[in-house]
Amino acid sequence: MAAEPVIRAESTTVRDVCAAAKEASRALARADAQTRNAALHAVAAALSERSAAIVAANERDVEAATEAGLSAALIDRLKLTPDRVAGIAFDVLSIAALPDPVGEVIEGRRLDNGLDLRKVRVPLGVVAVVYEARPNVTIDCTALCLKSGNAIVLRGSSMAGGSNAILAEIARDAVASVGLPPASVSLVAGGGREELPELVTQSEFLDLVIPRGGEGLKAVLAEHATVPVVYAASGNCHVFVDASADLSDAVAIAVNAKVQRPGVCNAAETLLVHSEAAAEFLPWAMRELRESGVELRADGRARVAAGELGDTVAEATEEDWATEYLALVLAVKVVDSVEEAIEHVNHYGSGHSEAIVTGSHESARAFTGGVDAACVYVNASTRFTDGGQFGLGAEIGNSTQKLHARGPLGVRELCTFKYVVEGTGQVRP
C-alpha cells in the first residue's frame, strides 16, 4: 500500500527545515565519495523495491489532476509508470558513476614566493529546488545534490504532493541508511501560499534557489527572493530551416522537436523557414506535423507556400511568436535570410535551445555565432538539451542565465570553489 503524503508538522517551520539542512550540509561536505555514492545506490535500490507504492501514490495525483482539468501535456509531466520509475533509478546510478566533483583541482601553480596555490571544487552548501508537476525532479535533483556534496530542500507543487512525499521519504531513508544525516534531503510541504516567500528568504541557511516552473513562479521569486537564484527558465525554442537544408532531415528534426514530448522546455515552439525552401518544404512538413496532431499557426507567406493546406491553417499573431505553448501547437514563419532568422530568435526566444538545419557551413557559423542561447544546434533536434543526453547523468535545471552557469546544470555546476594555499612559513613583506 502506498504511503500517505507526509505533511510538515506545524511545529516544524520552514526556518527549522532550512537550519537542519544547513547542519546536514556540513556533514555532507566532509563525507567521502564512497559514502555519497553508497547513498545514491541505496536510493536506486529503494526506488526499485518500492516502485508499486510510488506508482500507486502517483495514480492518485494523476486522478486529481485529471479531475481538475489539467492539460494532457501537464498530466504527462506528472505521470509516473513502472518504466519511468525504473528510468529514474537508472539515472541515479548514472549519477553515482560520474567522477566525483568534490575536491577536484581546477587549476594549480607555484607562485614566485614559493606558495603552492590550488583552485579546488567544493559544494555550494544547501540548494533549494522549487518545482511544478514533475515528481521525477524530486529524485533527479536529490541525486545531483548528494553527488556534489550538497544538502537539498525540496518544494514541489500540491498537484504532485503524494508522489513527492513518498519519493522524498525514500531518499531520506536511503541517506540515513549509510550514516548521512536524514536532513540532507528535506521536503517542505503542508504550508500555505506564504510558504514559498518564506523559503526563498532563508539567506542564513540556503546558498542557492533553483526554480523549475513557469513565468508565474519566476515572478514570485524575482519579487521575494533574497537567496541567490539560478532560473531554470522557460523554453521558447525555434527550428530554422535554411535554404540549403536537406529537407528530409529538416522534416524529421522539426517533427521531433515539436512532437516527441511537447510539454517540456526544449520542445520547439516556432518553425522558421527560408523563403527559398518554403514552397517545397512547407507542404511536406506541415502535413507531417498536422498528421502528428499539431495545431499550426502560420504567417501569410507560410500559408501561401503551403498551398491548399495553408487555407486550413490559422493566421499567426504577434502573441504566437512569444508563446511557450508546452502543447501540440506550433507557429510557422517564412524569413528571407539567416540574419532575419537570428533576429527573430533573439527577439522572441528565451535563450534556451535553438536549431538550424542547413547544408551551409557559412550559415551554420552565422547562426551559432549570432544566436544568444544556452544551447545552439546544427542539424539536430532541440530535444537533446538534457543533462542525461549531455552525459551529466541528469540536470537540476536548464539555466538560460549567464552567471554562474548556463544550460543543463549538473554536478559541477552545483559546486563553487575555494583557493587552498600551502606554504613553508612565508610572510608577506
Report how many helices (DSSP H) and strands (DSSP E) the chain contains, helices first: 15, 16
How far apart CA 173 and CA 57 sit, in angstroms, is 18
C-alpha cell at 255: 517533427
- pLDDT value at 163 more than 70: yes
Domains of the chain, residue spans: 14-232+396-422, 237-384
Q: What is the pLDDT of residue 197?
A: 94
**231: confidence class by pLDDT, cuts 50, 70, 90:** confident
The C-alpha atoms of residue 184 and residue 138 are separated, in whole angstroms, by 13
Q: Which pLDDT value is given to residue 234?
A: 80
- Structure confidence at residue 191 as a pLDDT band (50, 70, 90): low
Quickly state the pLDDT bin for 393 (edges 50, 70, 90): confident
pLDDT, average across residues 198-214: 93
Residue-wise pLDDT tens digits, 46-80: 999 999 999 999 999 999 999 999 888 789 889 99
Given this model, what pLDDT does residue 213 score? Answer: 77
Q: What is the pLDDT of residue 1?
A: 35
Question: How large is the average pLDDT for residues 159-181?
Answer: 97
The b/e string for 190-222 (b: 16+ C-beta within 10 A; e otherwise) is bbeeebbebbbbbeebbbbbbbbbeeebbebbe
The structure's pTM equals: 0.86
Identify which has the larger pLDDT, 254 or 3. Answer: 254
Task: Tell me which residue of 125, 410, 281, 158 sits closest to 298, measured CA to CA.
Answer: 281
Greater pLDDT, 220 or 42? 42
Beta bridge partners of 208: 127
Residue 280 pLDDT: 98
Per-residue pLDDT band for 2 (boundaries 50, 70, 90) equals very low
Q: What is the mean pLDDT of the chain?
A: 94
Same topology, domains 14-232+396-422 and 237-384? Answer is no
Tell me the fold of 237-384. Aldehyde Dehydrogenase; Chain A, domain 2 (3.40.309)
| Cell numbers linked to 227 | 537567496
What Cα–Cα distance (Å) separates residue 334 from each residue in 299, 301, 313, 425? Answer: 7, 6, 14, 69
Q: What is the pLDDT of residues 9-41, one digit of tens each?
A: 344 899 999 999 999 999 999 999 999 999 999
| CATH 3.30.70.260 at 14-232+396-422, yes or no | no
According to the model, what pLDDT value does residue 233 have? 65
Do the Cβ atoms of 295 and 258 come closer than 8 Å?
Answer: no
Q: In this predicted model, what pLDDT tens digit does every residue of 94-119 receive, in sequence order?
A: 999 999 999 999 999 999 999 999 99
Q: Are 242 and 277 in contact (CB under 8 A)?
A: yes
Strands 185-187 and 208-212: unpaired
Q: Give the whole-angstrom CA distance, residue 15 versus residue 12.
A: 8
pLDDT on residue 388: 85
Evaluated on CA atoms 97, 266, 82, 53, the torsion sign reads positive
> Which of 96-100, 213-217, 300-304 is predicted least confidently?
213-217
